[in-house]
């Protein structure tokens, strides 16, 4: 039996493919490479000694999906494929709803017709909007995401819950990621954003390596430890391992299951900059700047539910997140050689 991993060439996907291959699972990746490089999977193969199957194709393409489900015995699907840039989603909402919402609908229709009902979905803490309180547990009511990207995740959560209600054969995990960072400890695979990074840690690491001049710290007057925004940063390898635990759980539990994947600890922007300086041995120039529209002050997870139900907790601390990011960034200052240009 084979596991289908959509978006498996991307940042979180490639780390997850590596962990599944390491446990002996057979993996087939479907990815259109719109935001990733196939080199990531070549490196996963050399790290694990096992080569994942690969189909370059789109989750919105029903014919590709039908052929894939006919040709392979798929036991379940881990669905990463989608677009994730918040600002771009404001400029190109149709593209986001098409890839993230319509893509998931097409995938689920093809799965049902093929008799495959086990699905792990990449959701996001963004569905909580401005949280009523921190830490955020899974019972916290969903908020109002402030952009089409966030709304696409909330829509898919509702759709998948309706689907599981309609047919008891479905077993679906909605994984709400907090802020994924870091890289595999080998330094061979990591995050490879195109253009100017949107997220904090890739921005810091590109300043450290000399690709960008300085970090702008968005907001220094939040009610937090030092006035800068606080987030729950989780090592991407811990996040990947959460998918293995979730998929195992679905073997014995149908319906929809929601888990926060975070560490339960928040760090401020300035704490992140200083931790990265310690890891790379360089000074990171930064300037205080106005708040970024749409940002919240602080957000971190209550990660108890995943601990209790999945036996999963994040193991890697901030120092390791920073050291692994630096190993990847300094060894691959321009990312993968075959990254798509935008
Ligand atoms: P990524 O862009 O590195 O990976 C997404 C992958 O999906 C890429 O390889 C891309 O080429 C592929 N893809 C996109 N649209 C596709 C389509 N229509 N058909 C086939 N392949 C397609 O992003 P990531 O950081 O690895 O994120 C993976 C998932 O996790 C996404 O769904 C994202 O929304 C979600 N997520 C990410 C974060 C984060 O901060 N990185 C946080 C929460 C949730
Ligand atoms: C973290 C902190 C910024 C960049 C976003 C998406 C969310 C999810 C993860 C996918 C904030 C500050 C940032 C910079 C800064 N993605 N910052 N200077 O905003 O928590 O979440 O990515 O699902 O949906 O919204 O992450 O890394 O952008 O920002 O000061 O150059 O760093 O203000 O406090 P965020 P982030």
Q: Whose CA is nearest to atom 30 of ligand 1?
A: 122
pLDDT(341) > 60? no
Taking the model in full, what pTM does it have? 0.98
Ligand 1 centroid–CA 221 distance in Å is: 32
Q: Are 228 and 145 in contact (CB under 8 A)?
A: no
Asked if residue 259 has pLDDT above 70, the reply is: yes
With a 6 A CB cut-off, is 177 part of the ligand 1 pocket?
Answer: yes
Neighbours of 173 (CB within 10 A): 27
Q: Which residues contact 191 (CB under 8 A, 6 or more apart)?
A: 11, 181, 183, 201, 202, 236, 325, 328
Q: At what angle do helices 11-22 and 39-48 cross, to 10 degrees?
A: 20
Alpha carbons 231 and 275: distance in angstroms, whole number? 14
How far apart (Å, rounded) are the C-alpha atoms in residues 207 and 134?
31
Instruction: Please indicate whether residue 33, judged by its CB atom, sits closer than 6 Å to ligand 1.
Output: yes
260 lines ligand 1 (CB under 6 A): no
14 Cβ below 6 A of ligand 1: no
209: CB partners within 8 A, 6+ apart: 329, 330, 333
**286 tagged catalytic:** no
Residue 334 has pLDDT above 60, yes or no: yes
Nearest bound ligand to the CA of residue 150:
2
Q: Is 12 in the pocket of ligand 2 (CB under 6 A)?
A: no
**Which amino acid residue places its CA nearest to atom 44 of ligand 1?**
124
Query: Rounded mean pLDDT of 183-200?
Result: 96
- Three-class SS state of 246: helix
Strand partners, 136: 301
pLDDT at 178 over 50: yes
Contact between 209 and 329 (Cβ < 8 Å): yes
Ligand 1, atom 15, lies closest to the CA of: 82
pLDDT over threshold 70, residue 146: yes
Q: Nearest bound ligand to CA 11?
A: 1
C-alpha dist (Å) from residue 175 to 81, 213, 274: 14, 35, 30
Rounded to whole angstroms, the Cα distance separating 32 from 30 reads: 7
- So what's the pLDDT on residue 342? 38
What is the mean predicted confidence (pLDDT) over 261-279? 98
Least confident of 61-65, 183-187, 334-338: 334-338
Separation between Cα atoms, residue 17 and residue 164, nearest integer Å: 26
Distance CA 53, CA 62 (A): 19
Q: Are 178 and 260 spatial neighbours (Cβ–Cβ below 8 Å)? A: yes
The band of 120, judged by pLDDT with boundaries at 50, 70 and 90, is very high
Instruction: Give residue 293 CA to ligand 2 midpoint distance, Å.
Output: 11
């Amino acid at each position: 039996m084979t596991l289908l991993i959509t978006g498996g060439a991307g940042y979180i996907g490639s780390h997850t493919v590596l962990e599944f291959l390491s446990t002996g699972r057979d993996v087939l990746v479907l990815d259109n490479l719109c935001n990733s490089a196939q080199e990531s999977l070549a490196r996963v193969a050399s790290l694990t000694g096992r080569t994942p199957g690969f189909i370059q194709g789109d989750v919105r393409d029903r014919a590709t999906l039908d052929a894939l489900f006919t040709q392979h015995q798929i036991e379940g699907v881990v669905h990463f494929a989608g677009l994730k840039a918040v600002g771009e989603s404001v400029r190109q909402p149709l593209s986001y709803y098409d890839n993230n919402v319509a893509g998931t609908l097409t995938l689920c229709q093809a799965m049902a017709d093929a008799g495959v009902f086990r699905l792990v979905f990449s959701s996001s803490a963004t569905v909580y909007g401005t949280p009523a309180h921190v830490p955020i547990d899974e019972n916290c009511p969903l908020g109002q995401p402030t952009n089409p990207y966030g709304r696409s995740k909330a829509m898919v959560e509702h759709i998948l819950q309706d689907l599981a209600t309609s047919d008891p054969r479905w077993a679906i995990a909605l994984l709400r990621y907090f802020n994924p960072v870091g890289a595999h400890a080998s330094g061979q695979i990591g995050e490879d954003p195109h253009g100017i990074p949107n997220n904090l840690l890739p921005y810091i690491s590109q300043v450290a390596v000399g690709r960008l001049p300085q970090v702008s710290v968005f907001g220094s007057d939040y009610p937090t430890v030092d006035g800068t925004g606080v987030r729950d940063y989780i090592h991407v390898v811990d996040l990947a391992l959460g998918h293995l635990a979730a998929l195992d759980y679905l073997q014995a539990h149908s319906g929809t299951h929601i888990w926060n994947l975070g560490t339960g600890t928040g760090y401020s922007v300035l704490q992140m900059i200083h931790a990265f300086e310690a890891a790379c041995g360089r000074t990171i120039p930064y300037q205080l700047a106005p708040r970024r529209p749409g940002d919240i002050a602080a957000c971190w997870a209550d990660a108890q539910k995943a601990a209790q139900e999945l036996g999963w907790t994040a193991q890697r601390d901030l120092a390791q997140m920073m050291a692994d990011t630096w190993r990847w960034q300094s060894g691959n200052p321009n990312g993968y050689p075959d990254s798509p240009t935008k």
